[in-house]
Every structure is written in C-alpha cells, then in structure tokens.
Amino acid sequence: MRVENSSQPFFITREELQEWTQRPHKHNFFELVYIEKGSGRQCINHSLIGYQQDNIFLLPPYDCHWFEVAEPTTFIFIRFNGLFFKKDSTQMMDYTEWFQNLHYILSSYNRQPGDIIHSDSDKQMLSHLIKGVYDEYTNRREHADSIIRGHMFALLNILRRNFEQTFRNDHPATDKQISDILQYIQFNLFDNEKLRIEAIANEFHLSVTYVSEYFKKKTGETLKEYVLKSKVNVAQSRLRHSDQSAKEIAWELGFTDASHMAKVIKKYNAAGESCDTIVNA
C-alpha cells in the first residue's frame, strides 16, 4: 500500500482527467476534493458510490481511496494539515487551538463515500469558497495567504456544521437524548471534566446513579468504553500526522502516560482490510 506524504502544510491542484491512473493509495494529510465537472465513482475504504458535478468529498489521512472516471472529470484537490493553521503573522491570528478541536470531527465523521454536503445553500457557499481559494493560490496576489486561511476557516466550519447534522441523522435513537449525549461526548473529548458522569448527569438532567445504566441500555456498550474508543481514534490520528509527542497526546486526552495510552490503543485497535485487498476482491 503506497502512502503519499507531503511536507507542505497546504497546496492545491486542479486536474482534468480522462481516467484515474493512480493506484489506490493513502496520504498523511487531509484532502478536500471538489468535482468541478464530470462523473464516475469514488471509493473510500470498503465502499463505492457515484460522483457528479459539484460533489464535495473530504478524505481524512490514511483512508484508502481512489476514483473511477466515467466522464472526463475536472478535480480541484485541496490538501492541508494542522501546520497550515498555526499563527498568521500578517493578521496576528492563531487558528491552532480551533483546528485541534476540529481535528477529531474531521478525522472521525462517518467515512462512507459520497457527497458530504446535503444543504444546497451550504454547497453553493463551499463552491464559491473553494474556487476563491484556488484563485488566490494560483494568482498569489497581496495577502493571498491570509485570505486563503480565512476562506479555509469558513470552509471547514461549514463542513463541521454538515458533519454534526449527519451525526444526528445517523444516530436517531429511540429518543433524542441519547443522540445528544453521544454528540456531547464526541465534541468534549479534550475536556475530561465534562466527561465525568456527574457532569453528563447535570448536563442532561439525569440521576448520577442512572447515567451509566441508561447509556448501556441505549447504546449496547458502557460509557467508559465509548469514551475510550473515541479517544483512541483521536490518539491514532494525532500520532500519525501531528508534530505532538506521544507524551503530549496522552496528557491532552487524559491518559496516565504514553504507556497507558499505547495499551488502550492496542486493546481497541482492530486492523482494517487493506485497500489493495478491497480493490482486488
């Protein structure tokens, strides 16, 4: 399995392809893909689904992916990592903490192929933002870097809004409360105080003694297991493509130390089927 690496924090390409000649591969950065025109099929990990003009995909790092081109297709690829969102010296703005909090959502949303935007108004805004980013990147006018970073800030917040809606749709549950609890946990993984049973009970007006029983009854797994699995997803993603040490990641996620984090990762990490296996099956 080829892993495509990049030391650049941000770059864009626009490619007009009659066919997809690259082998299935992974990369160490996020990749936003905009279909300017054309049609075909997209694969992420285990699934294939059709794509068409104006579709937008987000490919998280280390997800196996490829495309089948049916009609000549124009792709705009925006590739980025956390380094791009460090302090903007021109505008004196620092997006580092914002991107760290967003990182989990970008890495962990439902990784099925297909268009990630279901709102027509959001899709229209994203289309304009993507084309604007490409124009600034290509022409390199004055203050281009700051304008691109601002566009990306808006763009990723729109993605987050759509991911949150997708999460709610995918976790309808028999009552809204458990869906809200799941979302609350995912978006507060870096705040251990908010993950305490007492905090969850207070947030959702439940008895402290009933929270764990209620969660297990509604989800089929314990609250502790769900939180640990979610933290493992974050830890693995950070270890693969951030400049943080294992010690720093462990501390941030509330593990005792790096050794403790490694043991938990080993417990919950099941190796997935390789992309080559899927394609050749």
Same domain membership, residue 142 and residue 187: no
pLDDT in tens, 229-248: 888 877 876 676 556 788 88
Q: Which residues contact 258 (CB under 8 A, 6 or more apart)?
A: 245, 246, 247, 249, 250
Same-domain check for residues 242 and 222: yes
CB atoms within 10 A of CB 90: 11
> What pLDDT score does 193 carry?
87
Both 136 and 7 in a single domain?
Answer: yes
- Is the same domain home to 103 and 126? yes
Whether 148 maps to a domain, the answer reads yes
State whether 163 and 33 are in the same domain: yes
For residues 191 and 247, state if they share a domain. Answer: yes
pLDDT digits (tens, 9 = 90+) for 70-128: 999 999 999 887 777 776 556 556 666 666 656 656 655 544 556 778 788 999 999 99
Q: Specify the pLDDT at position 3.
A: 43
Backbone angles phi, psi at 233, to 5 degrees: -60, -45
Q: Contact 28/9 with Cβ under 8 angstroms?
A: no
For residues 187 and 138, membership in a common domain is answered with: no
Q: Give me the domain span that covers residue 239.
A: 176-268
Same domain, 17 and 38: yes
Same domain, 75 and 37: yes
> Could you tell me if 44 and 153 lie in one domain?
yes
- The residue written with tokens 């297909």 in the block is 114
Q: What CATH number is attached to the domain comprising 101?
A: 2.60.120.280
- Spans in the chain with pLDDT lower than 70: 1-7, 23-29, 45-47, 60-64, 87-114, 167-175, 237-238, 240-243, 270-281
User: pTM surpassing 0.85?
Assistant: no
Provide the domain count of the chain.
2
